[in-house]
Amino acid sequence: MFAHSLFYLRTILNRSMLFSDIIGHDAIKQHLVEMVEHNRLSHALLFLAKEGAGGLPLAMAFAQYIVSLPTEAPVVEDLFGGMTALAPTPAFIHPNQIANEPAYLRADKLVHPDLHFTYPVIPRKSGDKPISSDYIEEWRSFVQTMPYGNVYDWLQSIGADNKQGNITAEECNQIIKELSLKSFESKYKVLLVWMPEYLGKEGNKLLKLIEEPPPNTIFLLVAENEEQMLATILSRCQLVRIPALDDKDIEQALIERAKASEETARQITGICEGNYREALQLLQHADEDWQSLLREWLNAMLKTGPAAQLKFIDEISRLGREKQKQFLRYFNHLLEQSIRIRVIGEDLVKLAEPEKDFAKRLNKIASVSQQECIIEELDKAAYYIERNAHAKMLFQALTIKLYHIIQNKTLILSN
């Protein structure tokens, strides 16, 4: 199943990473451009973005832009009437024009000698002490084809299965070694560190390097959870917060890039909560009849009893982790729309009629407080699924919990 999902995502994400190719975040792009234009580029930037918000592709486009800037050596007259060339400095070019520069071709293919990468890796065999460059070919493929993928996608693409990825002490030593060298072509050397949360205490080896880097060395860190980062590294970075993508940007991307219909794009956008990776996963399974499955579950829970519940649990447990999460997210989406119908009225809630009818029925079986409790339990379940919870045990427990939440109102959802 994962291989199929990976192929699907690759077929619709294979594109370059100019700023103009990055979905949304126009204000952040402008801020980054102004940093370069006005020579205010910090030596350590932390791009903080939740999954699917575009932290990695935005940082990647920025890194490629920086190392592709042309250098110019101004010539001045010396004290004795001769001409002396000063040290080269980058000439400002807007990111949307950077593709015309010779260095960009190498940067775009991720083979530029002044562009370095660090990311979580696994040992290929027992006793290995891997570093990121051991997986550079896989990394190039992943970044160029799945820029909105998460760390789970990356680790599965390198055959991690249930192994835990890490950024190792050996990798920290390699970083120190590589960044001590002079740049080859560009004025800047750029190190992009993806998921610095995977740095253990060994990351403290990098503190002095980040605080006092060699001249013209830029660190770009891309993280999802600042609480899981080493505080000593966090404090040395200038923070760039990247919010979830706007609904209009996701909807437009699904239509233009993933060739989704307007109706499908609108429905998916309402569910994915600003997460473009999740939107693509939902699009892959857009033909799934989640509503019928949800009706079956609620009827088994509230009317038809244990035998029907066991049938549902067996059915949902065979779907696989990604589909299970999408099913729970769909249920959450309908509950949220149910609450909106209560608050602002059904005429102002834009839903397809079958979904709107189902959402109205949910309002009949549960109050707002009950719906909030259900949403909380669904979020917990999705969290545990992500961490390889046993599906049958999880959905059995969840069925019992939801029954007790709504047992005082048992209107059955029928066709």
CB count, 10 Å around CB of 327?
23
Q: Provide the pLDDT for residue 224.
A: 94
Q: Provide the pLDDT for residue 112.
A: 95
Dihedral angle sign, alpha carbons of residues 194, 195, 197, 198: negative
Residues forming a β-bridge with 116: 191
Q: Provide the pLDDT for residue 266.
A: 86
Q: Provide the pLDDT for residue 254.
A: 94
Q: Which residues contact 6 (CB under 8 A, 6 or more apart)?
A: 146, 153, 156, 157
Q: Are 54 and 148 in contact (CB under 8 A)?
A: yes
CB count, 10 Å around CB of 51?
20
Q: Are 260 and 268 in contact (CB under 8 A)?
A: yes
Q: What is 2-243's CATH number?
A: 3.40.50.300
- Find the angle CA(338)-CA(49)-CA(56) to the nearest 5 degrees: 125
Q: What is 289-406's CATH number?
A: 1.20.272
In the numeric block, the tokens 């660090």 are attached to 118
How far apart CA 212 and CA 329 sit, in angstroms, is 45
Q: Are 364 and 263 in contact (CB under 8 A)?
A: no
Q: Provide the pLDDT for residue 94.
A: 86
Q: Are 371 and 339 in contact (CB under 8 A)?
A: yes
Give me the residue spans of the domains in the chain: 2-243, 248-280, 289-406
Q: Are 382 and 337 in contact (CB under 8 A)?
A: no
Q: Provide the pLDDT for residue 62.
A: 96
Q: Provide the pLDDT for residue 162.
A: 72
Q: Provide the pLDDT for residue 71.
A: 77
Tens place of pLDDT per residue across the chain (415 aa): 444 444 344 444 445 678 989 999 999 999 999 999 998 999 999 999 999 999 999 999 999 999 999 876 544 455 555 555 555 556 778 888 898 899 999 999 999 999 999 999 999 888 889 999 999 999 999 998 899 999 988 998 998 877 889 999 999 999 999 999 888 889 899 999 999 999 988 889 999 999 999 999 999 999 999 999 999 999 999 999 999 999 999 999 999 998 998 888 988 888 788 999 988 887 876 667 888 999 999 999 988 889 999 999 999 999 888 889 889 988 988 898 899 888 888 887 766 678 888 889 999 888 898 999 999 999 999 989 988 899 999 999 999 999 999 886 444 444 4
Rounded to 5 degrees, φ, ψ at 367 are -80, 175
Rounded to 5 degrees, φ, ψ at 196 are -65, -10
Q: Provide the pLDDT for residue 411.
A: 43
